[in-house]
Each structure stands twice: as C-alpha cells, then as structure tokens.
Chains A and B, each alone.
Chain A
C-alpha cells in the first residue's frame, strides 16, 4: 500500500451548537489526486480550515506524514507540509507575482531578520534560493513573463494559477486546492486539469475541492463525498458516479420539491 501523507481521523467540528463535521475520516495517499465533493454547505472548506489549523476540531486527529498537527499554529502546519489555495482568491494584492511566491518559499529556510539585515552568507544564499524557486514555479505555471506585475493586476485565471504556485513554493506533502476551477471556461478547465496532473507528476499529492464534476471525475484517483458534515461515500470516480446515496444527496433539492 502507498503511504498516507494526510490522514484525518474521526473529525468532529462544532460551531456554537451546530455540528459542522461529524466523525469524518479522510486520507490522501502519496502520488494521488484525491477529491472532496459535496453539495454547498456540506463542510468541504471547513475541512481545509481545520487541517490547516485555522479552527480547532472538537474531536479527532490530523496526521501529516504520520505526525500529529493538532494544536499547531497554521504556519507550522504549512511548513510541515500542507499548503492551500482559497475559494475566493486571496493573493497578496500589492505584491508582485514573484514576491507572492517567494514569501511562501521563504518559509522553508531559517534565515532570521538580523541575518538579513547584515547580509550574512547564509541569508544571501537563502534569499537567492527563494527567488530562484519563485521564478522556477512561475515558469512551471506559465506566468514567468508576469513575474514583476502586481498580483491584483493579473487577469483572473492567472491569479488562480498564481495561488497554486504560491502554495507549491512551500514544498507541500499535500496540496489543498479549494475550487480551483471556479469561474473558468471549459477550455481553461481542461488546462487546469492538465496542470493538476503535472503537479501530481512532480511528486505532490493533491486534495481537491471542486464543483465541476467532469473535471473531478476526469483527473481524480479517488473521490470522497460529504453531505451535511458526514462522509457518505468514498471510491473511484466510476464508483461514485453510480452510488445511489451520492445521487440522492445531489438531487436532494429536486426530491424535496416533488
């Protein structure tokens, strides 16, 4: 069996009195593209907010490459190997594209502020490494020609891809993508699918939240389905497409109406 890079066990999350996630189990294996789908409000983004340390779960365990992430501040979790993008793009708008990526790449070195001030050799080396990595990633997503443009001035699609590059700069064990295809036209969705495959082939495992079913079914190795905070199914795309509970969950609205 392949190793589990991200493992979420028996996750329970409550906001006020409401249970947002109820005993959810998930994992992402090395070298795979896993997808997390479900109707709106099923708790998908909450899963991301939990595993990246923004909220604390009421119960459960979160393991990255076997190490527990519970109680760690988000920046530590990011350095430990979980990097994410956001449903509504959240770039550092007033920074250039390359600075956006370099900021994340910086997290991997231990150079401190005093070293940077006096330009000690290690800090120079780390600085160079961050910038090189940032440029290399921009090239990888095809944005190197816009490296010195402000992130906020980039076209929508470039902003989405820049978020991916920024997350990759953390050298994550698992890349968490939150609806990366939102707002894309069919052509762009195909390109995105190829990009995600390329990312997987580079050795990053991917966990994908996405509403576009054809994209999900096309690129995912394994799909998990959330509904009302519970995992109702897990399997290959083909299995999921034929799962009656999943079909019911997605058609739930129509059922109520009839």
Chain B
C-alpha cells in the first residue's frame, strides 16, 4: 500500500518517539492550528469569502461536528441521519436563553449542551432498541421533525426564525465582533481540542472498546457482557453534546437563525465528512471535514454542486474505499515468533 507510506512513516516515528518529543510535537501542532488565521498565502486564500471566515465556517465548524458525529457513526456504527437536530437545539437554546434570561453566551453553553444531551436521551432510549436501518430512518425523521416544529411554532419565531442574537462577551481581551471571524475560529478550535482530548481518552479505554465491539457485532458484544444499550446511548449523548455546543457557537456568530439553516442537507454533509475521512478515525474525519469544507469554497463553481458531489462521493467511497482516506487503525504489530 504505497499510499499509506507517509502515514506509516509518521506512525513509526510516533511509536519510537520519547514522551518529550511527543509533547513538543503536540504543542507545535496546536500552536500551528491557532496561527492559521495569520497566514497570508494567495494559494490557500479563497475567492469571494475571506479565508478567515471560511476557516470558521465551514472548516472548523464542520470539523467539530464531524468529530462529534464520528463518535456515533464511526466509533459505534450507529447511522444517525438527524445530527442537524442537535446543532439546531444548541443554536435555538442560545438564541432563546439570551433573549429571555440575563445569561451570557458562556453561561448558556452548558444549557445548550445539556438540552442537546437530553434530546439524545429522549431520541435514543426508544430508537436505539431498533436495528440499524430502522434507526437511520428514525433519526432522519427526528431531524426533520425538529425543523418542522421550529417552523410551526410561532413562539420561537416560526419560519422567520430569531434575530438579534448576542455574540459571546469578550474573554482574555478578545472581542467577538461581527466583523472579525478569527475569535470564533479560535473559540471553535478550542472547543474541538477539548472534544478530541475527551474522545481520544475514551477511545483507548473501556468505552472505546465497547463502542467498537458494538460496531463490529452488536449481538456478540451483548453476549460478551457489554451493555450495548448503555454505550449506544452514551455515544448519542456525547454526539448530541458536541452538536449542541457547535450550534450555540454558530448562532452566536451569525446572530440570526431560521429553521431553513437546519435541513437534512447539513446532516448529510457532516456524514459525508465522516465517511470521506475514515469512519472511526478522528484525524481522518477532520481531514474529511477540511477537504469537504474547503474545496467548494476554493473552487466556487463547485459550490453550487456540492450536494451532488457529496452524494456521489458517498456512493463512490463506499464502493472503492469504504474505510475512507485515513482508515482507522491500519497499523498493527505483526509478531510471529513462536
């Protein structure tokens, strides 16, 4: 597999590296991620929309959502087609609470995540008892129902949505203004780093093994003492929390939301990111989100056709490379001594 050479070389280096060099590498990588908005490079710049605003939406926003959805789809093998519902719940939570309570953005975040998690439980408890393809349709319906309810409920703005949503108050001297997308990028990036940290920790421990076992063979996982319902529910809750967080940040940035922002298309786009990058591998998923977010912005003539492209991509990927560009855990240690 010549294509995997770079990845394997990096993997070999990583396995052989001392904890110190690993830490240095991690710090450098994180700093580089924070410094991206200062890049002035005509090659990566995007026409029509400033690169920095593309960097916030869709790049890092897609990445955050894809990392969240990956816990559900990639890790546990549960096909969730209604992920946008959690994003919408987060966005509406911020819009409504900021208008009706004195809470600021930072205080609302736990509520946005909490409500989305609660929605995950409400949807998951009944739905997760069902088999995969039924579950996919239930989640699909859930995503649409949340939108239809938003359209038909005048108390939360109906089809016109909500406006005058405040942005986050300033922290560490960083002001969140309408003009400058960079603080939102840093905010989302920070949120994503926390999520990655959490997901990686879980992946290498008992919950990660339980999720993978469920993905591989749910019946057998149950026979081996894994409480499949509990871990599927946790996957839903974690995915929901990340979606809610992303939604609240999104609402605080665009300042007005309408139900039409939260269509099935968005669920499918995030799913495409996960599928392209490599289901179950967090780095692959981010790569997928960056590619699928960036390419249509860079090549504007493509952007009108992006859903066509995403749909086609899902079919093609499943047929020729079902594990994505960066498949999960390709590396294994082959020892044949005995």
Looking at the complex, which of A2-10, A73-81, A197-205 is the stretch in contact with chain B? A73-81
Is residue B302 contacting chain A, with contact meaning CB distance below 8 A? no
> Which one of B224, B227, B334 contacts A103 once the chains associate, using CB atoms below 8 Å?
B224
In whole angstroms, how far apart are the Cα atoms of A209 and B298 in the complex?
Answer: 62
> Which one of A74, A113, A126, A166 contacts B202 once the chains associate, using CB atoms below 8 Å?
A113
B76 to chain A, nearest CB (A): 12
A74 to chain B, nearest CB (A): 4
> Which one of B206, B216, B234, B333 contacts A94 once the chains associate, using CB atoms below 8 Å?
B216
Query: Contact at B206–A126, with CB atoms within 8 Å?
Result: yes
Is residue A30 contacting chain B, with contact meaning CB distance below 8 A? no
Cβ contacts under 8 Å, A166 to chain B: 224
Looking at the complex, which of A39-47, A141-149, A181-189 is the stretch in contact with chain B? A141-149
Query: Contact at A96–B217, with CB atoms within 8 Å?
Result: no
Complex interface residues of chain B between 280 and 338 (CB less than 8 A to chain A)? 328-329, 332-338
Q: In this complex, which of B209, B332, B333 has the most chain A Cβ atoms within 10 angstroms of its Cβ?
A: B209
Q: Is the interface of A mostly helix, strand, loop or mixed?
A: mixed
Is residue A228 contacting chain B, with contact meaning CB distance below 8 A? no
Is residue A190 contacting chain B, with contact meaning CB distance below 8 A? no
B230 to chain A, nearest CB (A): 9
Fill in one digit per residue for B108-140: 1 if any A CB lies within 8 Å of its CB, else 0: 000000000000000000000000000000000
In whole angstroms, how far apart are the Cα atoms of A74 and B228 in the complex?
Answer: 10
Query: Contact at B335–A146, with CB atoms within 8 Å?
Result: yes
In whole angstroms, how far apart are the Cα atoms of A95 and B211 in the complex?
Answer: 11
Cβ contacts under 8 Å, B216 to chain A: 91-95
Cβ contacts under 8 Å, A92 to chain B: 212-213, 216-217, 220-221
B93 to chain A, nearest CB (A): 23
> Which one of A90, A116, A146, A148 contacts B205 once the chains associate, using CB atoms below 8 Å?
A116
Query: Contact at B335–A145, with CB atoms within 8 Å?
Result: yes
Query: Contact at B224–A83, with CB atoms within 8 Å?
Result: yes
Cβ contacts under 8 Å, B221 to chain A: 92, 103
Is residue A54 contacting chain B, with contact meaning CB distance below 8 A? yes
Cβ contacts under 8 Å, B213 to chain A: 92, 95, 103
Is residue A56 contacting chain B, with contact meaning CB distance below 8 A? no
In whole angstroms, how far apart are the Cα atoms of A109 and B215 in the complex?
Answer: 21
Q: Which residue of B lies closest to A78 (CB)?
A: B225
Complex interface residues of chain A between 218 and 234 (CB less than 8 A to chain B)? none
Query: Contact at A145–B336, with CB atoms within 8 Å?
Result: yes
Cβ contacts under 8 Å, A116 to chain B: 201-202, 205-207
Fill in one digit per residue for B73-110: 1 if any A CB lies within 8 Å of its CB, else 0: 00000000000000000000000000000000000000
Q: In this complex, which of B206, B207, B222, B228 has the most chain A Cβ atoms within 10 angstroms of its Cβ?
A: B206
In whole angstroms, how far apart are the Cα atoms of A76 and B225 in the complex?
Answer: 6
> Interface size (B, Cβ < 8 Å)?
34
Is residue B223 contacting chain A, with contact meaning CB distance below 8 A? yes
> Which one of B202, B210, B222, B329 contacts A106 once the chains associate, using CB atoms below 8 Å?
B210
Complex interface residues of chain A between 102 and 136 (CB less than 8 A to chain B)? 102-104, 106-109, 111, 113, 116-117, 119, 123, 126-127, 130
Query: Contact at A117–B198, with CB atoms within 8 Å?
Result: yes
In whole angstroms, how far apart are the Cα atoms of A147 and B234 in the complex?
Answer: 28
Fill in one digit per residue for B184-207: 1 if any A CB lies within 8 Å of its CB, else 0: 000000000000001001100111
Given A116-B205, A130-B206, A106 and B335 contact (CB-CB distance below 8 Å): no
Query: Contact at B209–A90, with CB atoms within 8 Å?
Result: no
Query: Contact at B205–A123, with CB atoms within 8 Å?
Result: yes
Is residue A63 contacting chain B, with contact meaning CB distance below 8 A? no
In whole angstroms, how far apart are the Cα atoms of A113 and B208 in the complex?
Answer: 9
B334 to chain A, nearest CB (A): 6
Query: Contact at B223–A84, with CB atoms within 8 Å?
Result: yes
> Which one of A73, A94, A146 contacts B212 once the chains associate, using CB atoms below 8 Å?
A94
> Which one of A93, A106, A167, A169 contacts B206 once the chains associate, using CB atoms below 8 Å?
A106
Cβ contacts under 8 Å, B337 to chain A: 145
> Which one of B198, B224, B332 contacts A148 once the chains associate, using CB atoms below 8 Å?
B332
Query: Contact at B206–A104, with CB atoms within 8 Å?
Result: no
> Which one of B198, B201, B332, B336 contacts A96 once the chains associate, using CB atoms below 8 Å?
B332
Query: Contact at A95–B222, with CB atoms within 8 Å?
Result: no
Cβ contacts under 8 Å, B215 to chain A: 94
Query: Contact at A107–B209, with CB atoms within 8 Å?
Result: no
Given A96-B332, A119-B201, A127-B205, A75 and B228 contact (CB-CB distance below 8 Å): yes
Fill in one digit per residue for A9-43: 1 if any B CB lies within 8 Å of its CB, else 0: 00000000000000000000000000000000000
Is residue A210 contacting chain B, with contact meaning CB distance below 8 A? no
Fill in one digit per residue for A67-89: 1 if any B CB lies within 8 Å of its CB, else 0: 00000011100110001101000
Q: Which residue of A lies closest to B220 (CB)?
A: A90
A98 to chain B, nearest CB (A): 10
In whole angstroms, how far apart are the Cα atoms of A52 and B198 in the complex?
Answer: 34
Query: Contact at B223–A103, with CB atoms within 8 Å?
Result: no
Given A99-B209, A103-B210, A75 and B227 contact (CB-CB distance below 8 Å): yes
Cβ contacts under 8 Å, A79 to chain B: 225
Query: Contact at B332–A52, with CB atoms within 8 Å?
Result: no
Could you list 7 further interchain pairs (A-B, Cβ under 8 angstroms) beyond the known A91-B216, A95-B209, A127-B205?
A54-B219, A74-B222, A86-B220, A94-B212, A104-B225, A149-B332, A170-B225
What are 5 A-B pairs with beta-carbon distances under 8 A?
A90-B217, A91-B216, A94-B216, A104-B224, A142-B338
The 7 closest A-B pairs by CB, nearest first: A107-B225, A148-B333, A92-B216, A78-B225, A104-B224, A116-B205, A74-B222
